[in-house]
Amino acid sequence: MYKLKEHKATVQSAQLTPEGPVLAVKRRRQLHPSFFHMGPVALSITSVLLIGLMAVLYLSQLGQAVSANQQLQDIHAQTTELNRNNQDLVNAITHERSPANLAAQAQKMGLVPADAKSVQILVVPHLQMMPNQDDQPIKPY
């Protein structure tokens, strides 16, 4: 950076004279990193390389964001399709459990409605009540 003669001269002048603004500037220049002393060509090449690196990093992040967005849209479409299928299944179960459908299925199997006059009710003495699924006691007839 500085030649040996200039360095000796600054050391001698610092010993002989008090520190002045010129000596402070010279010391400040010694503390600067070496890339400030690059020529215009080297500085231009370094700038172009740094800008290119930043562009590559930006495009990489952009690609990852686009990929994540595509995955999110695919998951959303899949969720919509599953919700639609679930609703169709709930509708099918509701239709199968409807009283009209149960009566039609029973008639297809050959069952007929019972005549209220011919039904016999049996009363069992000392019958204990058992809890059902809802923890409600079942009442005997």
How far is residue 75's CA from residue 72's CA, in Å, rounded to a whole number? 5
Structural domain boundaries in the chain = 9-97
Give the pLDDT score at 27. 66
Give the pLDDT score at 93. 95
Give the pLDDT score at 83. 97
Give the pLDDT score at 123. 86
Low-confidence ranges of the chain (pLDDT < 70): 1-21, 24-37, 131-141
Tell me the three state secondary structure of residue 131.
Answer: strand
Taking the alpha carbons at both ends of the chain, their separation in whole angstroms is 111
The C-alpha angle 25, 30, 31, rounded to 5 degrees, equals: 100
Q: Which of 50, 27, 22 is nearest to 38 (CA)?
A: 50
Q: Which of 98, 79, 76, 97 is nearest to 87 (CA)?
A: 79
Give the pLDDT score at 56. 97
